[in-house]
Structure 1
Amino acid sequence: MSDLKKMYSTILGDSFPHEMTISFGDQKLVYRKRTWAIPQSDGSTDERGIRYGENPDQEAALYELVNGNLVLGDCRFIEPGNGLVSAIKVEDMLQVGKHPGKINLTDIDNGLNIIKYLVDKPSAVILKHNNPCGAAYGDDLATAFNKALRSDRIAAFGGAVVLSRPCDKETAELLSQNYLEVVCAPEFEEGSLEILSRRANLRIIKIAGIDRLVDFEKYRFVDFKSLIDGGIIVQQSAVNSIRSLDDLSPATASWKGNDYSCKRQPTKREIDDMIFGWAVEHGVTSNSVLYVKDGATVGIGTGEQDRVGVAEIAVHKAYIKYADILCFDTHGIGYADLELAISRNERDRAEKDLIDERVARERADLPGSVMISDAFFPFRDGADVGIAQGVSAILQAGGSMRDFETIEACNEADPPVAMMFTGQRSFKH
């Protein structure tokens, strides 16, 4: 049996070439492997690339696009000179105890993939295993991070944080109170690094390009999926085209000569949450359903095979996370820690009962939230899950033969639920 703990602390190294060239007919893209000479505790430097891949026994390499301008059909793909994660230099690693691994980098990348649609306000995304576990807007950066953290304090443990604005001292204080793997921001204001350095193993990375992420909304890149037989599926990367109310359509349908439409139109707050939620949805593994409220995620369901199931899972997670944050606010410990203490007769069961009663009464803060679905509801049962929890509005792709049933579900709700269509699917696999 391998010593897994030792493997985690070892740099595997890689056998990948320094350069890689991919030809598309007579067009070529040239990539250069990224390595970093990171100072060691003994005063030496160790120049290596990625620490290891998804697991400690997988070699991996990071390549940056350095030459070639690819045009296929009417799409001009992203050009060299726009590096973000692939262009991180040693001097951008403001604190790094060890070389980054593939998961660290892909978490940052997906955080940038989400936050590029949220840079108009102070915003924060916390990621774990390439999925957001919390995302939020705020009037300031500290508020945004705190809202994202409170969305799922449990999953945020050991996560990666991507911030839309320079990290200030107030935000750094909040970050330093949590165990995180990576904090990434466009800049770190005076005094913030000293606060963050309290976490000796925290990787602190500056990506100056975050301040121009809005430009990346229109860029497409070549998305590769390698198959076990050595084959490759190639596609254009996805682009989120839902950026304002003008990009949404009223939920309407026709069935057997009858026309259907929602009784109630969404409020401005609900529309804002729709646009925010669809941006977050862009970085969530499918099938997925989100619940968002007041510019923050409430529950995130990811990667399920059926839509009603993932809607239920997102609700289940919302209840678990809400109980945990209430317990933490009240007792300074997590809900699971409270349960363990009760089982050991170290705390009164009445403490847990009070939290459970409040969670049930407040329905995990789901009432008034907006339900986001990355594709249409094939049946009304998925929407019914959210409606039963008190969502006030739904955003979905539309296009199902049974859209009329989901519209009926919204109209039958008390009070009626608003719904809009994107006309765009947002799958991510």
Structure 2
Amino acid sequence: MTQDLRQMYRRIVSDHFPEEITITFGNQKLVYKKRTWKIRQDSGEIVEQGLRYGENPDQQAALYELVGGNLILGDCQYIDPGKGLVSSITEEDLLQSGKHPGKINLTDVDNGLNVLKFLMEKPTALILKHNNPCGAASGGSLAEAFLRAYRADRVAAFGGCVVLNRPIDKETAEAISAHYLEVVAAPEFEDGTLEILKKRKDLRLIRISRIDRLADYCKYRYIDFKSLIDGGLIVQQSQINRIMTPDDFIPATAEHNGRVYKIKRKPTEREARDLLFGWFVEQGVTSNSVLYVKDECTVAIGTGEQDRVGVAEIAVFKAYQKYADALCYDRHKMSYKELELAVRKGEKSEELLKEIDDETREARGGLNGAVMVSDGFFPFRDGVDVGIREGITAVIQPGGSVRDWEVIEACNEANVAMVFTGQRAFKH
């Protein structure tokens, strides 16, 4: 029975979706063609198939590429055919197909590109799990960026998807191959790197050549479809991020009962870089969300919660948890949970845990000096108070709450800088 369960995840589910889909918008049409690949299976058999399966092994799924249509609605022209990224991956781009790519593998890559399009100036790595970033970092080299992103959440990165904005060199390949990951996507793989990465036979290695032009995609809009359980659709246009440089920040101000409240301190240059980095990563995070960022690296990412103060607290909890785990792995080559278990069994000294816990509390989980990023406004000051208690020094948020004045007061009391974006970044 256990073997049958394992095989479930290797099974390829045939789909019955059509080879072509045409969607009509008034008198305009968009034409999509189904993407399939000829992939050699473990048995040696070559199978022509699209996605392995959908979100779960019992769901049929198909990938379609936009191949025709030039949609213009109102004053908005949407992305043209011929600019495919994930949807135009060919057999030649699947440098190693691993367990045959499924829907989640490719939507993770797509969301990684959605974030990286804003972060092309420096070597940057994004690690995703379940279509959410779990670690993101820039660095002086690609290897440094990857290792910083991985260390940000080593636990969640297990079995994750890595998307990189520079060709993979040998140093980066060695760093990646030391860990269990499911997907690696990059613009190119330098000589000798595939031999290193292919030692993990289930790893999917994907080349996406257009990554070098990814910044161009910041200005493109696309049609976003949401299917309802009754068969209906909600259609929306994708959002264009208006915050591209610190010059786009809006100084936090509000009026209440005839009094104007203004933030007292502007972000420092370092804080501005981190606020911008965090806002870019925020574009790929499921709302409600709060992020903490330090030195262009995520400290913790809180995702998908129903209340803002709750997600701020969850992100703090994760920061402490991930910081302690990283210390534990550095010193004892085991996770924090493994050390906890060894202590309970009497195999390790309780002093080892206490030492890590004390250091984590002293460093506030790496939050001291970090910045706070929120995809929606703070309805009360309690959300920013969570970050302020942990030593954050700056905040970026959309603004627009009737209690913005209260949030500004909270930041001024703590000498914390805050800027508004004037734009919400919800993603569902």
Instruction: Give TM-score, length-normalised by structure 1.
Output: 0.98
Counterparts of 2:137 and 2:270 in 1: how far apart (Å)? 14
Matched with 1:28 is 29
How many equivalent pairs are there?
427
Return 50-59 or 40-49, whichever deviates more. 40-49
Q: Distance in 1 between matches of 2:85 and 2:381?
A: 41
Residue in structure 1 matched with residue 130 of structure 2 by the alignment: 129
One-letter amino acid of the structure 2 residue matched with residue 117 of structure 1: F
Q: What residue in structure 2 maps to residue 310 of structure 1?
A: 311
After superposing the two structures, state which structure 1 stretch, 352-361 or 191-200, moved more. Answer: 191-200
- Equivalent AA in structure 2 for residue 79 of structure 1: D
- The amino acid of 2:35's aligned partner reads R
- 2:422 is matched with 423
Structure 2 counterpart of 1:392, one-letter code: T
Query: Residue in 1 aligned with 2:45?
Result: 44
> Is 2:324–2:357's contact at 8 Å kept on the other side of the alignment?
yes
Instruction: Give the aligned partner of residue 410 of structure 1.
Output: 411
Which residue of 1 is the match for residue 213 of structure 2?
212
The separation in 1 between residues aligned to 2:199 and 2:242, in whole angstroms, is 41
Partner deviation per Cα, 1:296-339 (whole Å, 9 max, x = no partner): 00010000000000000000011100000000111111101101
- Code of the residue aligned with 1:420 in structure 2: it is V
The one-letter amino acid paired with 2:229 is: I
3-state SS of paired residue (2:128): strand
Measure the CA separation in 1 of the matches of 2:382 and 2:44.
62
Q: Counterparts in 2 of 1:138-153, with a 5 A limit?
A: 138-153=139-154
Distance 1:315 1:192 in 2: 37
* Cα separation, 1, equivalents of 2:41 and 2:226: 36
Deviations 1:109-145 (Å, cap 9, x if unpaired)?
0000000100111000000000000001111101110
8 Å Cα contact 2:170-2:192 kept in structure 1: yes
Q: Cα RMSD between the aligned structures?
A: 1.0
Q: Please state if 1:108 is matched with 2:147.
A: no
Q: Runs of 5+ in structure 1 lacking a partner?
A: none
Q: Determine helix, strand or coil for the equivalent of 1:14.
A: coil
Q: Which amino acid aligns with 1:204?
A: L
Superposed counterparts of 1:8-407, under 5 Å = 8-407=9-408
Q: C-alpha separation between the residues in 1 aligned to 2:264 and 2:17?
A: 59
CA distance in 2, matches of 1:254, 1:170: 53
User: Would you say the 8 A contact 2:312–2:386 is kept in 1?
Assistant: yes
Letter in 2 for 1:299: A
Runs of at least 4 residues of structure 1 off by over 6 A? none
C-alpha separation in 2, matches of 1:352 and 1:227: 48
What amino acid does structure 2 have at the position aligned with 1:168? D
Structure 2 distance, partners of 1:195, 1:100, is 20
- The AA in structure 2 aligned to 1:158 is G
> How far apart in 2 are the matches of 1:129 and 1:428?
14
Deviations 1:147-201 (A, max 9, x none): 1011100000000000000001001111001000000000011111111112111
Cα drift, residue 6 of structure 1:
2.3
1:73-120 deviation digits (Å, cap 9, x = unpaired)? 111000100000000001101111332000001000000000010011
- Cα distance in 1 for partners of 2:99, 2:159 equals 15
For 2:149, give the aligned amino acid: A
SS at match of 1:427: coil
Q: Which amino acid aligns with 2:419?
A: M
Partners in 2 of 1:207 and 1:263 — Cα distance? 45
TM-score, normalized by length of structure 2? Answer: 0.98
Is the Cα contact below 8 Å between 2:99 and 2:203 reproduced in 1?
A: no
CA–CA distance in 1 between the matches of 2:284 and 2:42?
A: 37
Deviation at 1:42, TM superposition (A): 4.4
CA distance in structure 2 between the partners assigned to 1:98 and 1:357 by the alignment: 42
Distance 2:42 2:250 in 1: 58
Helix, strand or coil for the counterpart of 1:154? helix
SS at match of 2:148: helix
Aligned-pair identity (%): 65
On the 8 A contact 2:183/2:205 being kept in 1, the answer is: yes
For residue 112 of structure 2, what is the amino acid of its counterpart? G
Q: CA deviation at 1:263?
A: 1.6
1:28-67 deviation line (CA, Å, top 9, x unaligned): 0000000000123444311001000000000000000000
CA distance in 1, matches of 2:106, 2:5: 21
Cα offset, 1:240, TM superposition: 1.3
SS of aligned partner of 1:65: strand
* Offset from partner CA, 1:378-424 (integer Å, 9 cap, x none): 000000000000000000000111000001001111xx100000001
Distance 1:224 1:260 in 2: 40
Q: Helix, strand or coil for the counterpart of 1:161?
A: strand
- Partner Cα distance (1:283, 1:77) in 2: 20
CA contact (8 A) 2:255 2:261 kept: yes
Q: Distance in 1 between matches of 2:58 and 2:42?
A: 25
Secondary structure at 1:66 match in 2: strand
Residue 7 in 1 paired to residue 8 in 2? yes
Q: In terms of mean alpha carbon deviation, does 61-70 or 35-44 score higher?
A: 35-44
Distance 1:296 1:180 in 2: 20
